[in-house]
């Protein structure tokens, strides 16, 4: 077993972090004290496990670090996994956190439409690949304008009548006078593993998959 190189766990620093940390701790990993300090500018943290460190990165970047082997394990939403489609990412475990859906929405004051009657739509989204693929399978050409956030502004400002974005409570759509027309897919976050690392360090990687599996099955984990 390779002991010199640390295993790196990539965690997304956004909203998922709060949900995933109880699982990380249940799995037996306790990051150094700085981790909980909002003022800390550190990006990599030692843990109580001498051979394991944690990096805190943007949600999309967590997938990239693991896919290229810069990190060995990570936590990534299905949305990110499907949008990138990295072949070197293995996602063995649904962590049952980060529940939301990817939906198409449009202004509430526009006439009801039947998506089955569309042939071409223009959409603002952070997920152009998933959107194009979903609609292509239904014979609809989706012209996507890539935004990285605040999609809800696009219809109001005339960028596109429709958006495809993540929805959880629906509060953001409501506040921006948009209605959910169609759910493209349901999303949760998964534990992901770099495939080559799984082959070269099978015992260590399997150990952590099992620890996370147990943590997820432990009913006291916060959701």
Ligand X SMILES: O=P(O)(O)OC[C@H]1O[C@H](OP(=O)(O)OP(=O)(O)O)[C@H](O)[C@@H]1O
Ligand Y SMILES: Nc1ncnc2c1ncn2[C@@H]1O[C@H](COP(=O)(O)OP(=O)(O)OP(=O)(O)O)[C@@H](O)[C@H]1O
Instruction: Name residues contacting ligand Y, limited to 42-61 (CB under 6 A).
Output: 58-59
**Footprint of ligand X on 184-223 (CB under 6 A):** none
Query: Phi then psi for 95, rounded to 5 degrees?
Result: -85, -5
Q: Which stretch binds ligand X (CB under 6 A): 36-44, 155-163, 166-174, 201-209?
A: 166-174
Which of 40, 141, 168, 206 is in the footprint of ligand X by CB under 6 A? 168
Cα separation, 20 vs 27, whole angstroms: 11
31 scored as a contact of ligand Y (CB under 6 A): no
Residue 117 Cβ vs ligand X, minimum distance, rounded to whole Å: 27
Min separation Cβ 100 and ligand Y, Å: 4
Name which position in 31, 77, 128, 155 contacts ligand Y (CB under 6 A). Answer: 77
- Exposed/middle/buried for residue 13 (C-beta within 10 Å: 0-12, 13-18, 19+): middle
Structure tokens at 114: 């039947």
Part in contact with ligand Y (CB under 6 A); list of ranges 26-34, 74-82, 111-119, 128-136: 74-82
CA distance 97 to 21: 11
Count of residues in contact with ligand X, rule CB under 6 A? 11
Angle between helices 15-26 and 202-217 (to 10 degrees): 100
Which residue from 51, 61, 54 is spatially nearest to 20, judged by alpha carbons? 54
Q: Which of 71, 80, 102, 178 binds ligand Y (CB under 6 A)?
A: 80
Phi, psi of 209 (to 5 degrees): -60, -45
From residue 189 to residue 208, what is the string marking binding to ligand Y with x (rule CB under 6 A)? x-------------------
Pairing status of strand 162-167 against strand 89-94 = unpaired
Of residues 14 through 53, those in contact with ligand X by CB under 6 A are: 15
Residue 74 binding ligand Y, by CB under 6 A: no
Applying CB under 6 A, what is the total number of residues that bind ligand Y? 16
Using CB under 6 A, which residues numbered 154 to 173 contact ligand Y? 166, 168
Closer Cβ to ligand X, 3 or 175, answer by number: 175
Residues that bind ligand X (CB under 6 A): 15, 149-150, 165-172
Name the residues that contact ligand Y, by CB under 6 A: 12, 14-16, 58-59, 77, 79-80, 98-100, 166, 168, 187, 189
């Amino acid at each position: 077993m390779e002991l010199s190189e640390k295993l790196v766990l990539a965690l997304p620093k956004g909203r998922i972090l709060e949900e995933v940390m109880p699982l990380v701790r249940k799995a037996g990993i306790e990051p150094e004290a700085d981790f909980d300090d909002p003022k800390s500018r550190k990006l990599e943290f030692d843990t109580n496990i001498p051979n394991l460190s944690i990096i805190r990165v943007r949600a999309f970047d967590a997938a990239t670090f693991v896919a290229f082997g810069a990190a060995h394990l990570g936590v990534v939403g299905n949305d990110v996994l499907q949008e990138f489609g990295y072949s070197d990412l293995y996602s063995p475990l649904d962590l049952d956190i980060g529940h939301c859906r990817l939906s198409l929405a449009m202004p509430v004051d526009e006439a009801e439409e039947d998506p089955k009657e569309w042939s071409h739509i223009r959409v603002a989204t952070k997920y152009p690949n998933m959107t194009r693929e979903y609609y292509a399978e239904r014979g609809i050409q989706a012209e996507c304008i890539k935004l990285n956030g605040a999609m809800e502004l696009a219809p109001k400002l005339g960028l596109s009548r429709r958006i495809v974005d993540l929805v959880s409570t629906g509060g953001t759509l409501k506040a921006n006078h948009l209605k959910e027309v169609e759910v493209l897919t349901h999303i949760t976050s998964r534990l992901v593993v770099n495939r080559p690392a799984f082959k070269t360090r099978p015992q260590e990687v399997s150990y952590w998959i099992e620890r996370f599996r147990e943590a997820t099955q432990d009913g006291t984990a916060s959701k």
